[in-house]
């Protein structure tokens, strides 16, 4: 009887976990939709790639921001970040250098398989005027907290490229 009771409790926990996972996925999809709506409502600025002036807007969410760009003190991304990075491309050298620096190089293969689109989109929102407050609302809605993995991904997306080796 006790084994049957434990088995029923385990099944109930599994059902609850599946239910909450499905609910979290639905909320995540809703948050992605809200974020993409926010990003597509802004028009990208047309700047020359060699320009050093920061942009105040971001490209639509169909193109991810490069993972090696730095966010300026005013929260804007550099104009050179207008070049898009497709998911599945190798990690930039700055990301690999950071993984090595943090003694996390053993996770390099996992990061190579990681879809950074969502993180890049969230970071891109920081460049939009109302982006940071919208991002906080979305993160609250989906119950996300910035844990270790998210902090590391955020560091990967905002780290400047390494200095050229001579």
Say if residue 133 is exposed, middle or buried (CB neighbours under 10 Å; 0-12, 13-18, 19+): exposed
Residue with token string 């990075």? 85
Q: State the alpha helices, DSSP H only, in the chain.
A: 2-40, 93-101, 108-113, 117-125, 131-141, 148-158
With H, G, I as helix, E, B as strand and everything else as coil, classify residue 81: helix
Read off the tokens for 73: 């003190």
Cα atoms found within 13 Å of the Cα of residue 86, Cβ hemisphere only: 2
Q: Judge whether 158 and 75 are in contact, CB under 8 Å.
A: no
Q: Three-class SS of residue 146?
A: coil
Distance between CA atoms of 11 and 75, rounded to whole angstroms?
Answer: 47
Tell me what pLDDT residue 92 has.
61
From first to last of the 166 residues of the chain, give the pLDDT tens digit: 778 778 888 887 877 777 777 776 766 676 666 656 555 544 444 444 444 444 433 433 433 444 444 444 444 444 434 334 444 555 566 666 666 766 666 666 666 665 556 556 665 666 667 766 666 666 665 555 556 566 666 666 666 666 666 6
- The pair of structure tokens assigned to 143 is 């119950």
pLDDT at 146: 57
| Cα–Cα dist 71/34, whole Å | 22
């Amino acid at each position: 009887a006790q084994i049957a009771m434990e088995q029923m409790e385990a099944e109930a926990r599994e059902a609850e976990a599946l239910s909450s996972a499905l609910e979290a996925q639905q909320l995540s999809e809703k948050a992605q939709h809200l974020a993409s709506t926010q990003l597509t409502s802004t028009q990208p600025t047309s700047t020359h790639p060699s320009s050093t002036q920061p942009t105040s807007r971001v490209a639509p969410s169909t193109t991810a921001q490069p993972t090696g760009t730095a966010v300026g003190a005013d929260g804007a991304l550099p104009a050179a970040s207008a070049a898009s990075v497709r998911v599945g491309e190798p990690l930039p050298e700055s990301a690999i250098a950071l993984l090595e620096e943090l003694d996390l190089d053993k996770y390099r293969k996992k990061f190579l398989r990681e879809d950074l689109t969502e993180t890049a989109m969230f970071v891109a929102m920081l460049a939009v005027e109302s982006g940071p407050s919208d991002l906080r609302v979305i993160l609250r809605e989906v119950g996300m907290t910035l844990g270790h993995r998210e902090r590391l991904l955020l560091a990967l997306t905002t780290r400047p490229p390494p200095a050229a080796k001579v």
